[in-house]
Amino acid sequence: MGIPAWVWFLVAVLAIAAGVALLIADRTRRAPNNRERRRWAALRGWQFAEIDQVLPTRWERGALAQHSGSTATDVVAGSTFTADGRRQVYVLDLTVNNKVATVLAGVRCRRSVSTILELWQPDVPVPQDSGLDLLGPVGSRYAFVTEVAAARPLVTPSLVEAAEEVGPDVTVVWLEQDWVLAAIEPDGADPARLERLLRSLGELADIIDPFETDPNESLDEPEPAADAEPTRQLKGATGATSPADTNETIRVERAEHSENQS
């Protein structure tokens, strides 16, 4: 005996109702953040968009490599002044399956770097099969790069200090193309915190892309200064480490650090 048609109809109606309820719940949950960020964008004279499916494809590394099929929501676009001048900025929620996975912020430089430089918190699992090599510790973070030789000149004492100021709630800071980007935990990403994060990213942009230099020069080969502070020697930076061994390397180095302190 077949199942009556009205049963299938009832199942379909219930499925539709459940989907609508989930959509309403998601929009209700996002509404306060949406209004807050929209208001912030208006106060700064920046543009606001509820959704952008193309923007996340602009970058591939950092947090983007961990979240495939993502969509940008509650997007803020504009420009802000840094110590060196005005730079383009983006802020967006990276949404996967209708849930905000992380919040991205980016500040644009005038020129591109020829290597990817990612600075990860040590307690965040290292992306595997990413084509990145472990350069070594940079302050409290660990640096992963695509080109070790090109990345070394970028890791100056000033960059290490600025990276430390970004904050522990930022899981990763990275350089990709002509952008300095960061991913921050969604729970604390209110406009006040995002303002501070953009200032920190602006300081990093000023360090790697100072306005007094020719924008046609390579970011990877800064001019040496006679009175320049010597570049910090990075533990583990004498060679590249395969991503497959990276997590074990970090665990060993953290254990050594704890033993030395005790």
Kindly state the helix (H) or strand (E) to which residue 180 belongs, with its residue range.
Answer: strand 179-184
For the ranges 91-95, 212-216, 229-233, the maximum mean pLDDT occurs at 91-95
Cα 185 from chain centroid? 10
Task: Say how far residue 9 (Cα) sits from the centre of its chain.
Answer: 46
Query: Which of 43-47, 135-139, 258-262 comes out lowest in average pLDDT?
Result: 258-262
Give residue 116's pLDDT band: very low, low, confident or very high (50, 70, 90): very high
DSSP letters, 59-118, are --SGGGGG-TT-EEEEEEEEEEEETTEEEEEEEEEEEETTEEEEEEEEEE-SS--SS-EE
What pLDDT sits at residue 3?
Answer: 72
Query: Which of residues 19 and 166 earns the better pLDDT score?
Result: 166
Please state the rounded mean pLDDT for residues 68-78. Answer: 91
Residue 119 has pLDDT above 60, yes or no: yes
- Return the amino acid letter for 13: V
pLDDT value at position 50? 94
Read off the pLDDT of residues 205-218 as tens digits, 9 standing for 90 and up: 999 999 876 665 65
Mean pLDDT, range 209-228, rounded to an integer: 56
For residues 106 and 1, the model is more confident at 106
- Residue 31: per-residue pLDDT: 54
- CA 91 to each of CA 108, 193, 201, 254: distance values in angstroms, whole numbers, following the listed order: 12, 12, 12, 33
What is the percent of the chain with per-residue pLDDT over 70, rounded to a whole number? 68
What pLDDT score was predicted for residue 177? 94
Q: What is the pLDDT of residues 239-257, one digit of tens each?
A: 444 444 444 554 545 445 4
Q: What is the pLDDT of residue 246?
A: 47
pLDDT digits (tens, 9 = 90+) for 19-70: 544 444 444 445 556 899 999 999 999 999 999 999 999 999 999 988 877 8
Average pLDDT, whole number, for the chain? 79
Looking at the predicted structure, is the pLDDT value of residue 87 above 80?
Answer: yes
Range name among 166-175, 183-192, 224-233 with the lowest pLDDT average: 224-233
- Report the pLDDT value the prediction gives residue 128, as an integer from 0 to 100: 64
Cα dihedral sign, 6-10-15-21: positive
- Residue 90 confidence (pLDDT): 97
